Structure 1
Amino acid sequence: MNRWPDDDVILYDGVCIFCSRWVRFVATRDVERRFRFTQIQSGYGTRLAQAFGINPDDPDTNAVIHGGVAYFKSDAALTVLRTLPGWGWTRALFWVPKPLRDGVYSVVARNRYRIFGKYEQCFVPDADMRARVME
């Protein structure tokens, strides 16, 4: 089991437009302000990625630390979604076989820059969200 000392941290690719939109999606719906965010390109994000075997120069997954455990790919996304108000129904998606869920996740992840685009620099959060960013 993968452990990390900080909890409820979402690791994401800060130059990926899709990934940055995912973080904004979570931040606006996380009314308890439970989750914090770190770009894989930050010092903290790079250390976190390397601790879990994610290549910070070519990330193939986001990750979330929840309950002290690291989750990756579809498990990461569903773990976050199920905690958000009104999104509890997504826990039913855990019944979909993991190889199928992760297969779909991997196709999107591999093609994310081509489909959604890429920022020249890391996405800069607004002032409210900046307080939740770990660098």
Structure 2
Amino acid sequence: MRRQAYSYRSDASVPAFADDKPLIVFDGECVLCSGWVRFLLRYDRRARYRYLTAQSPIGQALYRHYGLDAGSFESNLLIEDGVARFKSDGSIRTLARLGLPWPLVNVCRILPAALRDSLYDLVAKNRYRIAGRRQSCMVPTPEERGRFIA
């Protein structure tokens, strides 16, 4: 769903949050999704991104704001400069901003978005079977805590 940049700021159901850095909203109970965030924490050496679990009140509100299912969390959400990106577009953009060699992932954009998103959806629908599910959301280490929004 396309919306104007920072549209969530005027949505009374979305609590205010720090949006001065790109934000990744992810399924904190999904082992695969948490692994994605662990990967990003490791390679995001400039601490460019902040993270938020989809199960949190802000995460839930953002999913609803963008018309996503706030119960299944089948798409990570990248909010950068107030603009939300979903599925393969959000993942490719996230990786490409990490610095070398990760911008090479932009070559994936030669594939039609419908094909990329179909592959994304296939993994998303089966992510618990592929990697498992935690009983509770991922808990950041004390060193990582400042990069997460509660």
| TM-score bracket for this pair, using the shorter chain length | over 0.9
The one of 50, 59, 67 equivalent to 1:45 is 59
Q: Which moved more, 1:55-64 or 1:110-119?
A: 55-64
Structure 2, gaps ≥5 residues long: 10-18
Aligned to 1:27: 41
Aligned residues: 135
The 2-side partners of 1:130 and 1:52 are apart by 26
Q: Equivalents in 1 of 2:140, 2:95: separation in Å?
A: 20
CA–CA distance in structure 1, aligned partners of residues 22 and 85 of structure 2: 11
Deviation readout 1:55-101 (Å, 9 max, x if unpaired) = 22112211101132100000010010000122011111111110110
> What is the identity, as a one-letter code, of the residue corresponding to 2:35?
R
RMSD of Structure 2 on Structure 1 (CA):
1.2
Task: Report SS of the residue matched to 2:126.
Answer: helix
Q: State how far apart, in whole Å, the 1-side matches of 2:67 and 2:118 are.
A: 19
Residue from 93, 106, 112 that aligns with 2:127? 112
Counterparts of 1:132 and 1:54, CA distance in 2:
24
SS in 2 for 1:128: coil
| Structure number, greater radius of gyration | 2
Can you list the C-alpha shifts for 1:86-124, whole angstroms capped at 9, x where unaligned?
201111111111011000000000000011000000011
2:133 maps to 1:122: no
State the secondary structure of the residue aligned to 1:92. Answer: helix
**Bigger mean CA offset, 53-62 vs 112-121:** 53-62
- Structure 1 residue 127: Cα displacement: 1.1
Residue 22 of structure 2 is matched in structure 1 by 8
Percent of residue pairs bearing the same amino acid type: 36
SS of 2:46 mapped into structure 1: coil
CA distance in 2, matches of 1:38, 1:53: 18
The one-letter amino acid of 2:48's match is R
TM-score by structure 1 length?
0.95
Letter in 2 for 1:43: P
- The CA distance in 2 between the partners of 1:44 and 1:67, in whole Å, is 17
Q: Select 1:96's aligned residue among 111, 131, 138.
A: 111
> Which runs of 5 or more residues in structure 1 are unaligned?
none
User: Which amino acid is 1:116 matched to?
Assistant: A
